[in-house]
Structure 1
Amino acid sequence: MSHPHTTEAVSYPEPLGHPETRGIELIDSSQRRGRARDLFPVWAAPNVSVLNFTVGASMILLGLELWQAFLVIIAGSLPWIFTGIIAISGPAAGTSGSVITRAIYGIRGNRVIVAFFGWFISAVFLALNWLASSFMGAELVAQLGYADPVAGPVLVTIVVAAITVLVAVFGHGLILRSYPYVAVVLLGIFLLVTAFILPHVNWNYAAAEPLEGAALWSAVSIGFAILASTPLSYSNSPDMARYLPESTKPSRIIAATALGGALPCALFTTVGALLATGIDSAAMDPGIESALLALLPAWLGPVFVIGVIINTISLNGMTTYTASMAFQSIGVPIRRIPSAVVVGAIGTGLTIYLVMSTSLLEAVNLMLQLLVLVSGPTMAIFATDVIRRRNRYDGSELFNEKPGSPFWYSGGWHIPGLLAVVLGAGVASLFLTNGWWTGPIAGAMGGIDLSVPVSMLVTAAVYVALTGIAAKAHGTRVLEGVRA
């Protein structure tokens, strides 16, 4: 039957003092507001992150020279263009990305993909970012006299998670209004921290045993996979852009989204690489957060920890907000606000588990690489579909769930989309290298990790080929559900 949310009217922007009641409902053109450039701080605030320091340090721990690490960081920033490309589908369709992907997977197939792939990505990133603030917040709590190594991080996690859910509950209006100020505050704090890091940098750093041949390319490819996993995971970018007028220039949306995320990521990942040259690797065993705090003056340490917590709230607030709409899109009969609470509870549970079982550095590297098997194919197919359709999506048809509707396909399943994602992930696993799994092809190549390019190229190629075959079989090349 037709989706009930399409007829509900909610004014925009909602008063800042009230929660956003809109979920995945179609946004009428009369309710569209804003400019593309408003998206820049929305993406900058979540990405002025301590995880950038952690990932940057990982580049050096992999054995790379500084100049090699810098090149990998630049290359790892390029996938942000895909985050920008899929963002333009939000204003075109006027709804959430988790609804737009019905055009790719079919009405029923989309529920499976969003429930598994979307929730996995959201849960992992909620946990990773809460984990960072938990470890560092525990350091601050310990300075205040509460030094329990388990209860401290758990307590910080619960408090930060509660505030995060509140941000998600108040939603798009709060995010759009507050994130520009958050971005400025975080940029100031992180630049101040950088100023105290730079005197400790070993500008003449050279790896003890310079990498060559397969070992070098293995380190480069693993570093790229870790870096690329962040922009490739942001399949929620249409959600943040969907309130923009449909007439907004796509190029401006792409630029604001991609640059908003890429610039702070690249800058502070570079700082993380520089930081690792001045710290003994053994000092980072407990976690880079402890080594970093040891370099800062007593007054700046608490300020930095507060900045980390604010960043975590901004990033996970956005993630929880969009994940709550994903819950609705799979057909769960729940409103967006209680859905946000459920998402927050799941992420909190996973974070507490990680707090008691691993270090931040281990968790970040392992999960980001595994995430590529999910985020690479789903991002590639989304971007491919936007390009293939020339960003023409009929929002009202996306909510038509009746058999025979444009996105019903074969019994509610779009085989080309589903098969492309599964094949992309499966083939990519053969090229993946990390501490938990080394694919047979990656092993045969000396540990070179090509999971990111392989996952994206295979997925896009299979999708284009199969949709072309399906179109010829039906004697037409007209795309389903495209607005004339």
Structure 2
Amino acid sequence: MTSILEQNSIGQIPLDQRHGRPGGLFFVWFGANMFLITVVTGGLGTTVFGLSFWATMAALVIGLVAGGLFMALHAAQGPALGVPQMIQSRGQFGSRGATVIVAVVIFMYMGWFASNAVVGGQALHSLLPGIPLAAAIILLTLTNIVVAIIGYRMLHLVMRLGTIILGGGFLIALILTMTSGKVSVAGLQSGDFTIAGFMSVLSISALWAVAYAPYVSDYSRYLPPDTGPIRALWATYAGIVIGSLLPMTLGALIGTVISGDDVVGGLLDVIGPFGVLLMWCAVLFSGLSNALNLYGASLCSITFIQTFSEKFIPRAKGRAAVAAALGLIAIVIGVAGAGNFLDFLVSLIGLMFFVITPWTAINLVDYYLVKHGNYQVSEFFKKDGGIYGKWNQSAAIVYVVGLLVQIPFLASALYTGPVAGAMSGVDISWIVGLLVTCPLYYFLSKASESRSGPRVSLTNTAMSPDSVEGADVR
């Protein structure tokens, strides 16, 4: 069985293992959104926030278009550097500094994984009531563990299948809903428009895309280093925007014809027998594709450990052990939080936006405007951080400032800042975070370069087939 497993983990991908075309990224990021939880998220505007369908759609489109651009800009980093996204962050934050971000991203991965497992488990339980909810969650999680262990190629295949099968299924469900006779012009227009509700939906949809930023290079790092960055960007951008908007539109539409917030139950009532087939496809796909989160969490966990143990760059067996351990933890989280997952989801989205926004700004400004894609990849794996050091003071300062400036503008179930409160709950924290973080990091980095002298030209040359990772191979 070992032969079908991905042999790499966080080490730079050798040249002789580079393969694929940038167009394949469209299927990855379209398929990555073929979840029932995406439908539920789209329904938040018309259910939880009480907006009309049209106001919800406007907010969803604006948010996805804006957030998707920031997310897609990371796509070029994978082919150029050949390493996972969080390893590359050491080039901005230093080896120890990056662990702070890595720890946050691990939490994010596990939160998304558990949320998807709960939604999938609930769907399986509704199809087969004889299976307890906890057992359904466990069953799907065990399947995800197997897929995550097999690794990169399996995940690309699963996402392609999800794009075709569930993408088609959600499109048919959307058409059936619109022609069901339950959707009316009055229903589409009903709702109370509020700036707070509109901005909340816009922010949620923008974060939906931005939250994938820590994933992006993980699924493009096997592409040849001469892959055109523009093609990689547009394939990723189209996948995340279109793939998110389709199920979210379905959720928003269902929200106009139901009372309460049970979007999945409402979907089944509206589209009839096809809903059962769609539900089975969604459940089976959830049992495969949620491994995307577990795979990312595994890479990040290995990255965290390798920071303090230089030679720890495991291959198939070590990565499998990490994935299995994280999967078991996710089972506990999912089963324990199944009762109030919707509140958890909204809180998780708000928290992730808060911590991911300044990171993505620093990462992109450094890659495109400061270092122009030139990094010494071998230095990422040194315990002392190599030429990037253990801590990058400029990045640390800007990241903290990026967090602090958002606090007054936050509006969430956990905390509402004074400015957001004065604005009737309108959350523009992420916009403020980007506007402050991007120029501040650029100018501090340039000032640091001026003080330390000209930067030595770096290379991001991929390893040759004969190179050795110098790793503790497991």
**TM-score, with length taken from structure 2:** 0.88
Structure 2 letter corresponding to 1:188: G
Could you tell me the percent identity over the aligned residues? 25
Deviation at residue 413 of structure 1 after TM alignment: 0.5
Query: Residues 207-255 of structure 1: CA distance to partner in whole angstroms, max 9, x if unpaired?
Result: 66643xxxx2211111111111211111111010000011000001111
Deviation at residue 479 of structure 1 after TM alignment: 6.8
Find the residue that maps to 1:294 and give its secondary structure. Answer: helix
Equivalent pair of 2:52/2:190 in contact (CA under 8 Å) = no
Deviation at residue 473 of structure 1 after TM alignment: 2.0
Structure 2 gaps, min length 5 = 307-311, 462-474
Equivalent pair of 1:136/1:290 in contact (CA under 8 Å) = no
The 1:103–1:278 alpha-carbon spacing in structure 2 relative to 1, beyond 3 Å, is same
Name the structure 2 match of 1:6: none
Structure 2 letter corresponding to 1:189: G
Name the structure 2 match of 1:261: 240
Equivalent pair of 2:68/2:240 in contact (CA under 8 Å) = yes
Query: Residues 398-435 of structure 1: CA distance to partner in whole angstroms, max 9, x if unpaired?
Result: 223346x2111xxx111121222222123223211123
Which of the residues 274, 279, 282 maps onto 1:305? Answer: 279
- 1:193 paired to 2:173: yes
Find the residue that maps to 2:388 and give its secondary structure. Answer: coil
Provide the C-alpha distance between the structure 1 equivalents of 2:284 and 2:397, rounded to a whole number of angstroms. 40
Equivalent pair of 2:158/2:288 in contact (CA under 8 Å) = no
Deviation at residue 364 of structure 1 after TM alignment: 2.5
- 1:40 paired to 2:21: no
Name the structure 2 match of 1:239: 218
- 1:363 paired to 2:344: yes
Provide the C-alpha distance between the structure 1 equivalents of 2:242 and 2:323, rounded to a whole number of angstroms. 29
Provide the C-alpha distance between the structure 2 equivalents of 1:342 and 1:102, rounded to a whole number of angstroms. 25
Residues matched between the structures, number: 446
Query: Bigger CA drift: 75-84 or 187-196?
Result: 187-196
Find the residue that maps to 1:205 and give its secondary structure. Answer: helix
The 1:350–1:459 alpha-carbon spacing in structure 2 relative to 1, beyond 3 Å, is farther
Equivalent pair of 1:16/1:174 in contact (CA under 8 Å) = no
Provide the C-alpha distance between the structure 2 equivalents of 1:457 and 1:122, rounded to a whole number of angstroms. 26
Provide the C-alpha distance between the structure 1 equivalents of 2:247 and 2:275, rounded to a whole number of angstroms. 17
Provide the C-alpha distance between the structure 2 equivalents of 1:191 and 1:443, rounded to a whole number of angstroms. 39
Equivalent pair of 1:236/1:322 in contact (CA under 8 Å) = yes
Find the residue that maps to 2:432 and give its secondary structure. Answer: helix
Equivalent pair of 2:85/2:217 in contact (CA under 8 Å) = yes
- 1:113 paired to 2:91: no
Structure 1 letter corresponding to 2:176: F
- 1:469 paired to 2:447: yes
Provide the C-alpha distance between the structure 2 equivalents of 1:117 and 1:466, rounded to a whole number of angstroms. 24
Equivalent pair of 1:202/1:274 in contact (CA under 8 Å) = no
Name the structure 1 match of 2:8: 22
Structure 1 gaps, min length 5 = 1-14, 147-151
Structure 2 letter corresponding to 1:349: V
Query: Bigger CA drift: 104-113 or 416-425?
Result: 416-425
Structure 1 letter corresponding to 2:128: V
Name the structure 1 match of 2:418: 440
- 1:327 paired to 2:301: yes
Provide the C-alpha distance between the structure 2 equivalents of 1:393 and 1:197, rounded to a whole number of angstroms. 50
Aligned-pair Cα RMSD in Å: 2.2
**TM-score, with length taken from structure 1:** 0.86
Equivalent pair of 1:397/1:481 in contact (CA under 8 Å) = no
Q: What does residue range 81-480 of structure 1 map to in structure 2 within 5 Å?
A: 81-114=69-102, 116-142=103-129, 145-146=130-131, 152-198=132-178, 199=180, 200-205=182-187, 210-211=192-193, 216-234=194-212, 235-280=214-259, 282=260, 284=261, 287-297=262-272, 299-332=273-306, 333=312, 335-356=318-339, 358=340, 360-388=341-369, 389-402=371-384, 405-408=386-389, 412-476=390-454, 478=455
Provide the C-alpha distance between the structure 2 equivalents of 1:345 and 1:427, rounded to a whole number of angstroms. 37
Equivalent pair of 2:64/2:208 in contact (CA under 8 Å) = no
Query: Residues 7-29 of structure 1: CA distance to partner in whole angstroms, max 9, x if unpaired?
Result: xxxxxxxx996211211111122
**Which aligned runs of 4 or more in structure 1 are off by greater than 6 angstroms?**
none
